[in-house]
Structure 1
């Protein structure tokens, strides 16, 4: 299956194929929901999405590697992580400038950036937010959190737009893609409150917590004792409302995408938003365990996506591949036969 995707994308160089395969493994291993949705893309566009995910995952893993007890990050460990991020940034810059690169994730990402014309500043902004995670442990308000999420989430959506293709000029779809990236990350923040607390971080804004009588000590107490406090539940509900509002703002962007890629994003949209329902269904116990979308719902959503994919590709075959107004990458259009 990997070879078929690489062939469809026109990736023939052995080193590039190895790099993309490495990124695909990262996506399959760590991004279960994301990987499932990616399977709905035309084969020729999947390697690029794997490259974008693989690089982001690699950087995130550098930031979140813990020394010893998960709850205690040694100062020298922070320095090592900062140095590792610097090396990753230097390697990527070398690759984007036309060099060979060293790490598989940077090799694949640089190639994807060239193929799809992805702006380099998106990668710079992303690494900037990753660096802030080494020192910033909380955010005063939603505005401060949004500033952080521009680099950690919104730019991921912006990177995806050229790969997905649009039926309008890219700049019209870009704000919605950025907002969907934010919605996905807010969902992760809600799901991972307990795990992030163990890393010393709180992404729920401090003013929102304070409005419900919650502080770091109360969160730590609930985490340590396994208890759920009504004040914490109220704060989490308020954070969920912020997250659902982000999904509402992002939703009008899905119809702006290339018809053959819409089912992928719609599936990711439904599954990620379903995590919010899973959190509520689990009694807001995110300080104690991770909420998971039931397997049956994942399967049904994926099946619906497959039907939409089939319909979109049938419609595409019935019209000229150069239909006016479509801005999907021309190389992808000619190499994505199922």
Structure 2
């Protein structure tokens, strides 16, 4: 098979970068810190992951979503065959240049299928499997772009960092998910705490006795342990890849810290960081090569 021309690849990567810039929000702050070749590759990974996520989160009937997710699954299995799809073209080229674990996209699809089926998670162990599918997969795909010397040791750390980010997302989006009929928190732990998630007559998450806010604080503390594990990845990466990872994860970690300080806020609204704060975190990550976050974690652990 003839390889795609340089012009076609340039157009494909440009399309992926456009998708990243217009939709990535938090991730774009980190991706911009990579050198051009890795930035293009990670933009391609993001664009395909975004395609999968958009199907799962869209407004089509559930059976149509499942059909489209299976179509994407089949298109990934055919990757390397001639295609006019710029995203598949770019991902295929990136995977030829770098050790990107393409099979991780299948785990992301599995996680989106769990969302479509409105799956709930009886225990934290089952929730962790979901987090590995939808976010650990992205950590492992990103690691393939970063291409560390010791991939086998780095892989579980990238997976842990992905889980940390997804647990943060779950806490941030409690109210938004309830509005869509979704509950991601472990059901056995909610029951033990005497919590039945529901919205009050103002459209906020009910918490008459303050139990839910305390529950969120405990869940945030658990997520911190995943960040502690995941940030051990940073010294294993080259400077620009570590900066990228520290910027992306640092934004979510700062968000988790804000939730932990005021857990009641997520019951009322979506908590977010202002753009200036995200930019400042990215600048710090670039200045320290990502190791500022790792050093901060070591310092915190020593106290």
* Structure 2 CA distance for aligned equivalents of residues 223 and 160 of structure 1: 41
Deviation, structure 1 residue 144? 0.4
Structure 2 counterpart of 1:263, from 243, 246, 250: 243
What SS does structure 1 have at the residue aligned with 2:194? coil
Q: 1:243 to 1:135 in 2, by over 3 A?
A: same
Establish whether residue 89 from structure 1 lines up as the match of residue 68 from structure 2.
Answer: no
Corresponding residue of 1:59: 52
d(CA) in 2 for partners of 1:281, 1:296? 20
Aligned to 1:298: 278
* Corresponding residue for residue 204 of structure 1: 185
Question: Deviations for 1:7-39, whole angstroms, at most 9, x for unmatched residues?
Answer: xxxx96333323322222222222222101111
| Per-residue deviation, 1:265 | 1.1
Could you tell me which of 155, 161, 167 is aligned with 1:186? 167
Q: How far did residue 211 of structure 1 move?
A: 2.2
Normalising by structure 1, we get a TM-score of 0.78
Secondary structure class of the residue paired with 1:271 = helix
Secondary structure (helix, strand or coil) at the match of 2:264 reads coil
For the pair 1:45 / 2:38, whether they are aligned, the reply is yes
Partner SS state of residue 112, structure 2: helix
Query: For 1:5-84, what aligned pairs fall within 5 Å after superposition?
Result: 13-66=6-59, 77-84=61-68
CA deviation vs aligned residue, 1:32-58 (integer Å, no higher than 9, x gap): 221011111112210111111111111
Q: Which runs of 5+ in 2 are unaligned?
A: 292-303
Quote the residue 1:8 is aligned against.
none
Q: In structure 1, the residue corresponding to 2:116 is in which secondary structure?
A: coil
Pair 1:220 & 2:220 matched? no
Partner of residue 327, structure 1: none
| 1:171 aligns with one of 152, 157, 171 | 152
Q: How far off its partner does 1:215 sit?
A: 1.5
> 1:81, 1:48 → 2: CA distance?
27
Matched residues in 2 for 1:222 and 1:204: separation?
22
* Preserved CA contact (<8 Å) 2:175 2:205: no
Q: 2:30 and 2:204 mapped to 1: Cα distance?
A: 37
Find out whether 1:254 has 2:247 as its counterpart.
no
Match of residue 161 from structure 1:
143
Indicate conservation of the 8 Å contact 1:193/1:202, yes or no: yes
DSSP-derived class of the 2:120 partner: coil
In 2: Cα distance, 1:298 partner to 1:120 partner: 29
Q: Is 1:234–2:218 an aligned residue pair?
A: no
Q: What is the TM-score with the length of structure 2 in the denominator?
A: 0.86
The change in CA–CA distance for 1:234 and 1:102 in structure 2 (over 3 A counts) is farther
Q: d(CA) in 2 for partners of 1:307 and 1:27?
A: 23
- In angstroms, what is the RMSD of aligned CA positions? 2.3
Deviation at 1:271, TM superposition (A): 1.3
